[in-house]
């Protein structure tokens, strides 16, 4: 993470790492999603969050993405597990979360082209105020600190106006709650929808106000989200959240999947 990225992340609450995935990695990941049956899910539900441990979630298609239990993302193939520890992202995670960061949970977001003609958004949420320590952002002693931090990989491109992930830049430091006129409005200014090429990784702190605009592109949206936390913290229910942290995972991946604790927690090997 160079000085420019550091400046921009601190300023905006998110940053895009262009070309984080190589072309062959992108192709294999997309193939794995197809093998996992993502197309059928999108056909049935239109707009889904899936790949997390079984849980009760949103079942109301009008209220936002449907939560579908469909097995664990990390069981969908080695290419998914490789995302846990991509060398190109290590310095970002360490700079924002500290050296002993951990992967808290992961899931996929899939949306049918043109929203399957159902223009559903994911409501704007979070922000600097009201304060939530688990989803907060601070700068102290010359260092950035974040609660939950998300790496969102775009597996299909996102052009301006396509919809999908949107954000209010700088709102991780907001001193006032998001006004209702913005939260319930049409997601115009000051909400921004970053354009992404397939293979880009968008890193954002959960402290920034964000959500998703209706997906209007002529192709499906496919995003894979890995949510990391400082080593001392767990955000999502259930630990460990992968079935077993066995030899399918490299030594470094296993280290990143360790349960949360603080005392003498080492950096990753």
Give the per-residue contact string, 193-212, with ligand AKG (x = CB under 6 A; - = no). -----------------xxx
Check residue 42 for interaction with ligand AKG (CB under 6 A). no
CA dihedral 29, 69, 113, 205 (to 10 degrees): -70
Check residue 147 for interaction with ligand AKG (CB under 6 A). no
Quote the Cα angle for 75-91-245, to 5°: 25
Can you give the C-alpha Rg of the chain in angstroms? 18
- Distance between CA 86 and CA 102 in Å, rounded? 14
Check residue 105 for interaction with ligand AKG (CB under 6 A). no
Check residue 165 for interaction with ligand AKG (CB under 6 A). yes
What are φ and ψ of residue 158, in 5° steps? Answer: -130, 105
Check residue 150 for interaction with ligand AKG (CB under 6 A). yes
Please, which of residues 214-233 interact with ligand AKG by CB under 6 A?
223, 225
Residue pair 199/152 in contact by the 8 Å Cβ criterion: no
Check residue 36 for interaction with ligand AKG (CB under 6 A). no
Residues that bind ligand AKG (rule: CB under 6 A) add up to a total of 11
Check residue 152 for interaction with ligand AKG (CB under 6 A). yes
What are φ and ψ of residue 229, in 5° steps? Answer: -140, 160
Chain centre distance of CA 36:
20
224 versus 242: smaller Cβ distance to ligand AKG:
224
Q: How far is the CB of 124 from ligand AKG (least distance, A)?
A: 9
**Candidate residues 70, 81, 105, 122; the one interacting with ligand AKG per rule CB under 6 A:** 122
Q: How far is the CB of 49 from ligand AKG (least distance, A)?
A: 8
17 versus 150: smaller Cβ distance to ligand AKG:
150
Residue pair 214/115 in contact by the 8 Å Cβ criterion: yes
Check residue 172 for interaction with ligand AKG (CB under 6 A). no
- Distance between CA 12 and CA 118 in Å, rounded? 30
Any idea what DSSP says for residue 24? H
Check residue 50 for interaction with ligand AKG (CB under 6 A). no
Residue pair 2/197 in contact by the 8 Å Cβ criterion: no
104 versus 249: smaller Cβ distance to ligand AKG:
104
Residue pair 79/181 in contact by the 8 Å Cβ criterion: no
Give the per-residue contact string, 62-91, with ligand AKG (x = CB under 6 A; - = no). ------------------------------
Residues that bind ligand AKG (CB under 6 A): 109, 122, 150, 152, 164-165, 210-212, 223, 225
């Amino acid at each position: 993470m160079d000085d420019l990225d550091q400046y921009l992340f601190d300023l905006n609450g998110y940053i895009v790492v262009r070309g984080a995935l190589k072309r062959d990695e992108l192709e294999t990941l997309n193939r794995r999603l197809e093998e996992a049956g993502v197309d059928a899910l999108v056909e049935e539900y239109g707009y889904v969050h899936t790949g997390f441990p079984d849980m009760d979630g949103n079942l109301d298609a009008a209220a936002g993405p449907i939560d579908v239990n469909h097995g664990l993302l990390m069981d969908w193939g080695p290419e998914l597990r490789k995302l846990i520890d991509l060398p190109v992202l290590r310095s970002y995670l360490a700079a924002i979360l500290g050296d002993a960061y951990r992967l808290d949970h992961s899931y996929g977001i899939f949306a049918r082209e043109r929203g399957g003609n159902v223009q559903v958004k994911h409501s704007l949420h979070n922000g600097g105020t009201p304060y939530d320590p688990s989803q907060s952002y601070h700068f102290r002693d010359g260092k950035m600190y974040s609660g939950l931090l998300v790496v969102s990989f775009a597996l299909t491109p996102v052009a301006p106006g396509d919809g999908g992930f949107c954000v209010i830049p700088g709102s991780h430091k907001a001193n006032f709650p998001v006004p209702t006129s913005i939260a319930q409005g049409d997601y115009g200014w000051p909400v921004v929808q970053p354009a992404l090429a397939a293979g880009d990784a968008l890193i954002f702190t959960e402290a920034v106000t964000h959500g998703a605009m209706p997906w209007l592109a002529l192709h499906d949206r496919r995003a894979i989200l890995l949510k990391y936390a400082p080593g001392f913290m767990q955000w999502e229910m259930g630990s460990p959240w992968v079935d077993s942290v066995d030899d399918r995972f490299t030594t470094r991946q296993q280290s990143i999947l360790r349960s949360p604790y603080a005392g003498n927690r080492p950096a990753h090997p």
